[in-house]
Chains A and B, each alone.
Chain A
Amino acid sequence: MSELALTPSQTVGPYLSLGLTWPTGYLVVPEDAPGAITITGVVRDGTGAVVPDGMVETWQADAEGRFDHADDPRGASGSGFHGFGRSSTDAEGRYRIVTVKPGALGDGQAPHIDVSVFARGLLDRVVSRIYFPDEVEANAADPLLSSLPPERAATLVAEQVGPAELRWDVRLRGEGETVFLAV
């Protein structure tokens, strides 16, 4: 067996946009793709102040619950769906991702999007998940959501704010602190 020792994490610092800005990074799918939805939200710190220098990344299955990735034991989908979104937060702390709702994976989990948040003051990314408000039954049976107290689980479920728009805020610390995950 192994083992090479791991490289430690460090903060992205305040100047991450120099290296990590992609003008179209927020487009997991084109804005006019069938089934496209927008997920937006505001990242806030322990005082409730917005975080204007952060970055949100998303990773998810396609609408059929598949990944175009060879490590998926069900096989790579071959669809070319890249599943990745990246949005800097703006002066109001807001990020925005355009994507499709992921399908169920068929393993008992409710449809979800994995999220990483990076910012100055975070020495490592923080990881969370976005779940969907129209999946009441699947959410109730989801192994992660059902393991959490209801008020904590609620921090992981997005809010429907328009026909094709969801809102999911991130509270890094303090009142209503988002559930973060060790992966």
Chain B
Amino acid sequence: MSAISIRGLTHAYQKHFWQKRRKALSNLSLEVAEGEVFGFLGANGAGKTTTIKILVGLQSQTAGEADIFGNPVGSLECRRRTGFMPENPYFYEYLTAAESLAFYGALCDLPVKDCAEQADKLLEFVGLADAKDMRLKEFSKGMRQRLGIAQAIVHRPKLIILDEPMSGLDPVGRRQVREAILNLRSQGATIFFSSHILSDVEMICDRAALLDRGELLSVGGMDELLDAREREFEVGVSGLTAGEMAKLSEKAARSVSDERGTLFVFKERGDADAAAKLAVERDGLVSFGRIRESLEDYFMRTTGRSRSETEQAHADIRQ
């Protein structure tokens, strides 16, 4: 059985009755298998949060169906099996971390005596054991994010839905969240999360889906999505003569130099091999590597956005 099954999900909304209805989501169909880490990608306004809100029962669809472990979304049974962390989670500021988790535990039908114990365990799990008695208004963004994960898993759900769990975190915080996600997967949970941070998705997801303007552009494993072919080859050299360097430069697509040497990027494998061979003979090979398509390249390629287009969009926003 799929953890999440979405069939033809559509959501249209109207801010005011005199305005036209706009589609936030259009005929989305998707399956997420049990036990996988699934990344849900898309730019702002792509429909990621709308999909997530429908899955957790905060929003309703205009058309289509969605099930979680065979239960229609929004049902109590569905919410019993799902843990959810919203984007930038907010909590009751005057409660302590332990009180907050005990409260969420009680809402999930955990026996009262187990709530405090479970709260302690979870605070340990997300690295907030020292902040147990601290009021949440004193929490930093990273701490709130980690508490957000803790409240999502307080009832040991089989499916965990995280909306932008890495948003606004520093590299240490992102690493902690990544580790928490992988930990949860190793315990058998299915994780469905949306993110803007493509490198994180690339690192931890088994599969991902790309959404743009409410429509699903592609879905698949990382290897299926990314062009598996090596696109370019890079060779780092040092100690070559000026003539040899000039010869390599002729064949290279581009190069960059610093005090440690020069890095040549070749389009053809044969040129890269020849450069590497020459550098080995002169005892000057610093590095040799293949460049594959990154998720960011894929994102730009699939959504049809070029760097200049993105920069133009940013300039428009600034104006």
**Real complex partners, A and B?**
no
